[in-house]
């Protein structure tokens, strides 16, 4: 996107947020200004539905915040590359989110895993994958965790070409299959 | 996202010059990368994706191009399909983008940086139930 368009869109978003703040301050009675905001307040109160006005103002503020985030969040985002490789033509990197999705896919492909959440972090040059899985109470936890660690490590090595530092697995069992109450 | 500018190439012998429109290098790179096996698509920001949701195809999504008089460098954010080796796909994308830009524009590509931001899993299509056989003819 061109820089001029980005700046104009950003200014518009800031103006929208500032307008909402002024309206809010006027509604709560803050003496931001005297005549002009009083007129706006009177006009807003004459509307048949003040709640509609407030809702529209909040929606406008939300759009402004989202616009600012979409335009400028990339500049303030932290380094998100987990694996970086340099070659003759440049640099290739794999983000933390891509690694997390890969590990998540490996875990979810197992029939004894009902649900899972994956996060990836790095300490120095070692990448750590943390997997939290939900499984039925009848599953052997020892076999499941061992199989998950091996499967995720092997898959990441095969796909990315880089070994993983560690794979931490946390298992949360569910008793969803226990349909009958144990006590009356 | 860097600001794109027109690229002027002085042609030798003909006494004229060739001027490329903005975004042309980015578009060439995007189309070259899309043809590589294993590439699901480009990964852009939320704002870049907003136009696509309104029906407008954006060929410069997820790509930054730095252009000089004779050289250029490309930074790309891509999504790789599950099951493909990421490093093999990235190398193929680098070669494809480099060849495409150098062939079509004459610019020398000094760097193609690839960032894999996501992995696309194939959506499972439910198998159709078997059609019941007719009992009578």
- The CA–CA distances, whole Å, from B35 to A66, B40, B85, B93 equal 33, 10, 16, 9
State the Cα–Cα distance between residues A154 and A18, nearest whole angstrom. 52
Report the percentage of chain A scoring pLDDT > 90: 18
**Secondary structure element (H or E) that encloses residue B29, with its range:** helix B24-34
The count of CB pairs under 8 A between chains A and B is 84
- Is the Cβ pair A98, B87 closer than 8 Å? no
Q: What is the CATH number of domain A81-173?
A: 3.30.70.1350
Assess whether pLDDT exceeds 70 at residue B99.
Answer: yes
Give the total residue count for chain A: 184
- Is the Cβ pair B118, A97 closer than 8 Å? yes
In this prediction, residues B117-126 reach a mean pLDDT of: 75
| A93 CB within 8 Å of a chain B CB | yes
Q: Where are the domains of chain B?
A: 7-120
Q: Which class for A149: exposed (0-12), middle (13-18), buried (19 or more C-beta within 10 A)? A: middle
In sequence order, the 6+-apart residues with CB closer than 8 A to the CB of B37 are B84, B89, B92
Residues of A with CB below 8 A from B47's CB?
1, 67, 70-71
Q: Where are the domains of chain A?
A: 3-76, 81-173
In sequence order, the 6+-apart residues with CB closer than 8 A to the CB of B8 are B17, B18, B19, B20, B69
Six-digit token pair at A116? 């899972």
Give the total residue count for chain B: 137
Predicted local distance difference test score (pLDDT) of residue B55: 60
- Residues 103..162 of A with a Cβ closer than 8 Å to B: which? 105, 158-161
Select the residue of A71, A89, A94 nearest B47 (Cβ to Cβ). Answer: A71
Assess whether pLDDT exceeds 50 at residue B123.
Answer: yes
User: Are B28 and B19 contacting, i.e. CB atoms less than 8 angstroms apart?
Assistant: no
Chain A: give the shortest CA distance to residue B13, in Å: 31
Report the percentage of chain B scoring pLDDT > 70: 64
**Interface predicted TM-score of the whole assembly (ipTM), two decimals:** 0.71
* CATH architecture for segment(s) B7-120: 2-Layer Sandwich (3.30)
In this prediction, residues B66-78 reach a mean pLDDT of: 87
Q: For residue B36, how many other CB atoms are within 10 A of its CB?
A: 20
Residue B109's nearest CA partner among B28, B20, B23 is B28
Assess whether pLDDT exceeds 70 at residue B125.
Answer: no
User: Are B72 and B108 contacting, i.e. CB atoms less than 8 angstroms apart?
Assistant: yes
Assess whether pLDDT exceeds 90 at residue B94.
Answer: yes
Q: What is the mean pLDDT of chain A?
A: 78
Helical spans, DSSP H, in A80-131: 96-108
- Is the Cβ pair A3, B50 closer than 8 Å? no
Select the residue of B4, B45, B94 nearest A90 (Cβ to Cβ). Answer: B94
Residues of B with CB below 8 A from A92's CB?
86-87, 90-91, 94, 113-116
Q: For residue A34, how many other CB atoms are within 10 A of its CB?
A: 8
**pLDDT digits over A152-177, tens only?**
999 999 998 888 888 999 887 765 55
**pLDDT digits over A26-56, tens only?**
666 666 566 776 776 677 666 666 667 777 7
pTM (predicted TM-score): 0.66
């Amino acid at each position: 996107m061109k820089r001029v368009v980005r700046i104009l869109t950003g200014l518009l978003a800031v103006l929208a947020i500032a307008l909402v703040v002024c309206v809010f301050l006027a509604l709560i009675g803050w003496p931001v200004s005297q005549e002009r905001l009083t007129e706006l307040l009177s006009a807003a109160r004459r509307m048949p539905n003040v709640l509609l006005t407030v809702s529209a103002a909040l929606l406008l503020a939300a759009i402004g915040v989202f616009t600012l985030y979409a335009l400028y969040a990339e500049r303030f985002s932290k380094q998100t590359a987990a694996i970086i490789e340099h070659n003759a033509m440049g640099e290739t990197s794999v983000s933390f989110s891509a690694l997390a999705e890969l590990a998540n896919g490996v875990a979810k492909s197992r029939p004894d895993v009902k649900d899972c959440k994956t996060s990836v972090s790095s300490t120095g040059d070692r990448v750590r994958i943390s997997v939290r899985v939900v499984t039925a109470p009848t599953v052997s936890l020892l076999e499941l965790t061992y199989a998950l660690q091996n499967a995720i490590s092997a898959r990441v090595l095969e796909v990315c070409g880089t070994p993983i530092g560690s794979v931490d697995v946390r298992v949360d069992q569910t008793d969803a299959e226990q349909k009958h109450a144990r006590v009356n | 996202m860097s600001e794109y500018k027109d690229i002027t190439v002085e042609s030798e012998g003909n006494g004229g010059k060739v001027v490329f429109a903005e975004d042309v290098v980015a578009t060439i790179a995007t189309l070259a990368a899309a043809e590589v096996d294993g590439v699901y698509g480009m990964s852009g920001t939320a704002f870049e994706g907003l136009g696509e949701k309104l029906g407008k195809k954006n060929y410069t999504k997820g790509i930054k191009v730095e252009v000089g008089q004779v050289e250029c460098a490309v930074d790309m954010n891509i999504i790789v399909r599950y099951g493909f080796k990421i490093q093999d796909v990235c190398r193929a994308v680098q070669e494809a983008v480099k060849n495409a830009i150098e062939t079509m524009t004459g610019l020398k590509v000094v760097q193609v940086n690839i960032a894999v931001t996501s992995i696309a899993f194939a959506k499972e299509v439910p198998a159709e139930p078997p059609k019941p056989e007719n009992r009578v003819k």
